[in-house]
């Protein structure tokens, strides 16, 4: 029997006492996953529907609840740009385009994430048309975490903002008012996610 074989056996004998610890770690990991799954299940998808007020090119309001269209970023309401060589109020134009897409019809929105201001990040539809995608495809918002194909389509077709020159909305916000409340790209931090999950669990248990 060689030294390597003896060393291997000795190493095997030495590792055996650590197995209970390994089992405990594995069990704790599985329990943590179960707790996380329960927490995420408690953070159910939020849904809103009905008449919506268009705040700007990527924000809607249902009663007292303001929501942001997920995955896009539209010009701020007071933002200007250049279209066909002329100065244009692109923020107002973006809002008008979103209003025209809705055309007074009921809006259905859903989503489970929030931004850093605790506003729901949602995807909304009207009559089978997804507003998030349509705003980017029509050139009145840019991709911001999603809808890159729609943005490429708008750019290639010179639609909306792509008819001229404009500053990225987030860059415009930095120059004019720092990181404003309109930044849709900031998802809720993991700590906030658990806090929201905790609130949902408390609400759920209170019903029972």
Q: Give the model's pLDDT for residue 176.
A: 83
Per-residue pLDDT of the chain (208 residues; tens, 9 = 90+): 433 344 444 444 444 546 677 677 777 777 766 655 544 444 445 788 899 999 999 999 999 999 999 999 999 999 999 998 999 999 999 999 999 999 999 999 999 898 887 889 999 999 999 999 999 999 999 999 999 999 999 999 999 999 999 999 999 999 887 544 444 444 444 444 444 445 444 444 454 5
Sign of CA dihedral 15, 18, 22, 27: positive
Q: Give the model's pLDDT for residue 184.
A: 41
Pairing of strands 65-69, 120-126: parallel
User: Which residue from 113, 111, 126, 117 is spatially nearest to 54, judged by alpha carbons?
Assistant: 126
Tokens of 72: 């896009």
CA 166 to chain centre: 24
Q: Give the model's pLDDT for residue 43.
A: 44
Q: Give the model's pLDDT for residue 204.
A: 46
CA distance 40 to 96: 37
CA distance 167 to 187: 23
CA distance 75 to 2: 75
SS3 76: coil
Tokens of 133: 């995608």
Q: Give the model's pLDDT for residue 28.
A: 76
Q: Give the model's pLDDT for residue 83.
A: 92
Give CA separation, 62 vs 20, 51, 132, 155, in Å. 55, 7, 17, 31
Pairing of strands 142-143, 72-73: antiparallel
CA distance 184 to 55: 14
């Amino acid at each position: 029997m060689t030294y390597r074989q003896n060393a291997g056996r000795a190493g095997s004998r030495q590792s055996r006492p650590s197995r209970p610890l390994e089992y405990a770690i594995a069990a704790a990991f599985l329990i943590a996953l179960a707790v996380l799954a329960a927490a995420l299940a408690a953070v159910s998808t939020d849904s809103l529907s009905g008449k919506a007020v268009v705040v700007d090119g990527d924000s809607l309001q249902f009663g007292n609840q303001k929501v942001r269209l997920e995955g896009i970023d539209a010009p701020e309401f007071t933002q200007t740009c250049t279209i066909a060589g002329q100065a244009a109020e692109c923020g107002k134009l973006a809002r008008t385009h979103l209003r025209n897409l809705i055309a007074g019809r009921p809006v259905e929105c859903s989503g489970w994430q929030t931004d850093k201001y605790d506003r729901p990040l949602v995807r909304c539809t009207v009559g089978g048309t997804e507003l998030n995608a349509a705003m980017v495809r029509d050139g009145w918002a840019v991709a911001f975490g999603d809808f890159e194909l729609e943005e490429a389509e708008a750019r290639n077709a010179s639609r909306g903002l792509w008819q001229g020159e404009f500053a990225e909305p987030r860059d415009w916000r930095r120059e004019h008012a720092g990181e404003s409340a309109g930044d849709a790209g900031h998802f809720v931090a993991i700590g906030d996610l658990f806090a929201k999950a905790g609130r949902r669990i408390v609400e759920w248990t209170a019903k029972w």
